[in-house]
């Protein structure tokens, strides 16, 4: 059965699980104009979600990040305990229950039982691919993972991860649905545990734990190195662009100079994955197709201006924080 076009018109979104991610998705979908029904079996979770959504909407408005009054957006969200009520009219269903396979599998069976035949069913799972959580469903062609950052109303990227059984049309519709809601969907090309976001985060965290374990640096020191170092550039460009602009001659030159040291560090941690010349050639070709080497200097100047703007913003934030701390102390 063809799946309904979920991206063009204002639709009904069902959210299953009203914790951190479920309540945050309620904001994304309602702010995009959709009617939202959030479900959770725990009354306390539903109540917390209602409070959290209302507070976050007020704050988004204060930061000029909401086009309508907060109350209008909140008015499009309903909170229910019963699963069928949340999904039976939904065109797009976003599952946000705990990251446990033995919980998600029967939950998807229930969702499928109550959902309209043409609704898209998406899982927010952080690491569990749809093949494992939804492979047993009769209508698995309309199922996939749509993995957000936390919270999705502030972190634009969302990974669209179809399983081999997902209808490509469904994946494209999900991509359009999130793009229309102001997010930045990325279609992940192969289904893999942890997808891309958490594989990258995991690589950094694995090394951070090793450095902490071995007494090389404290937790706070490691956090500072990311906050005041690596993360400064990563707030406006990715790791490939970072090293491309760090080295005269770009990515290829960086790999030549630093590749052997990184290979030794990887081997020390039990990962023997050197950057082969063929791999570096392919990466360089892709990078050079988006930034010609003749434009490299200009782009490094752009990077520096971005860093200046960021530093100015951080200074203002620090001043504001100091002011509010002083005001608190004066009370």
Ligand X SMILES: NC(=O)c1ccc[n+]([C@@H]2O[C@H](COP(=O)([O-])OP(=O)(O)OC[C@H]3O[C@@H](n4cnc5c(N)ncnc54)[C@H](O)[C@@H]3O)[C@@H](O)[C@H]2O)c1
Which residues form the interface with ligand X (CB under 6 A)? Answer: 16-22, 40-42, 45, 96-99, 103, 107, 124-126, 147-148, 150
Smallest distance, Å, CB 108 to ligand X? 10
Instruction: Name the residue among 271, 241, 268, 244 with its Cα closest to residue 256.
Output: 244
Question: With contact defined as beta carbons under 8 Å apart, do 90 and 116 qualify?
Answer: yes
Smallest distance, Å, CB 192 to ligand X? 16
Smallest distance, Å, CB 170 to ligand X? 20
Task: Identify which of residues 126 and 253 has a Cβ nearer to ligand X in the complex.
Answer: 126
Task: Please give the full DSSP string across 247-308, using - where no structure is assigned.
Answer: STTHHHHHHHHHHHHHHHHHHHTT------HHHHHHHHHHHHHHS-GGGHHHHHHHHHHHHH
Task: Identify which of residues 106 and 249 has a Cβ nearer to ligand X in the complex.
Answer: 106
Task: Identify which of residues 140 and 147 has a Cβ nearer to ligand X in the complex.
Answer: 147
- Which residue shows structure tokens 């062609």? 141
Task: Please give the full DSSP string across 57-105, using - where no structure is assigned.
Answer: HHHHHHTT--SS-HHHHHTTEEEES-HHHHHTT-SEEEE---S-HHHHH
Smallest distance, Å, CB 21 to ligand X? 3
Q: Report the residue number whose CB is nearest to ligand X.
A: 19
Instruction: Name the residue among 329, 147, 311, 168 with its Cα closest to residue 229.
Output: 311
Smallest distance, Å, CB 147 to ligand X? 6
Question: With contact defined as beta carbons under 8 Å apart, do 159 and 188 qualify?
Answer: yes
Smallest distance, Å, CB 95 to ligand X? 8
Smallest distance, Å, CB 40 to ligand X? 5
| DSSP element (H, E) containing 245 | helix 239-246
Task: Identify which of residues 99 and 207 has a Cβ nearer to ligand X in the complex.
Answer: 99
Task: Identify which of residues 18 and 222 has a Cβ nearer to ligand X in the complex.
Answer: 18
Task: Identify which of residues 55 and 323 has a Cβ nearer to ligand X in the complex.
Answer: 55
Instruction: Name the residue among 154, 112, 161 with its Cα closest to residue 25.
Output: 154
Question: With contact defined as beta carbons under 8 Å apart, do 174 and 4 qualify?
Answer: no
Task: Identify which of residues 121 and 252 has a Cβ nearer to ligand X in the complex.
Answer: 121
């Amino acid at each position: 059965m063809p799946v309904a076009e979920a991206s063009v018109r204002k639709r009904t979104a069902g959210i299953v699980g009203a914790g951190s991610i479920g309540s945050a998705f309620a904001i994304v979908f309602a702010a995009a104009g959709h009617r939202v029904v959030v479900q959770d079996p725990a009354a306390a979770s539903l109540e917390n979600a209602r409070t959290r959504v209302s507070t976050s909407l007020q704050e988004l408005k204060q930061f000029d990040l909401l086009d309508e009054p907060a109350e209008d957006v909140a008015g499009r969200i309903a909170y229910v305990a019963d699963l069928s009520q949340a999904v039976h009219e939904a065109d797009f269903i976003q599952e946000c229950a705990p990251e446990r396979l033995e919980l998600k599998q029967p939950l998807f069976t229930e969702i499928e039982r109550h959902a309209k035949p043409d609704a898209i069913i998406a899982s927010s799972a952080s690491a569990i691919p749809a093949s494992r959580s939804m492979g047993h469903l009769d209508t698995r062609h309309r199922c996939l993972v749509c993995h957000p950052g936390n919270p999705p109303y502030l972190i634009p990227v969302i990974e669209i991860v179809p399983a081999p059984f997902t209808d490509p049309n469904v994946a494209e519709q999900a991509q359009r649905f999130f793009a229309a809601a102001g997010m930045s969907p990325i279609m992940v090309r192969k289904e893999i545990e942890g997808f891309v976001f958490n594989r990258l985060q995991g690589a950094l965290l694995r090394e951070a734990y090793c450095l902490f374990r071995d007494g090389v640096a404290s937790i706070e020191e490691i956090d500072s190195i990311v906050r005041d170092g690596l993360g400064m550039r990563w707030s406006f460009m990715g790791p490939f662009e970072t090293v491309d602009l760090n080295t005269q001659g770009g990515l290829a030159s960086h790999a030549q100079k630093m590749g052997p040291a990184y290979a030794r560090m990887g081997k020390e941690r039990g990962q023997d994955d050197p950057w082969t010349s063929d791999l570096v050639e392919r990466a360089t070709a892709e990078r050079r197709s988006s930034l010609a080497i003749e434009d490299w200097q200009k782009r490094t100047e752009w990077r520096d201006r971005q860093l200046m703007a960021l530093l100015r913003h951080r200074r203002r934030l620090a001043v504001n924080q100091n002011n509010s701390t002083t005001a608190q102390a004066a009370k």
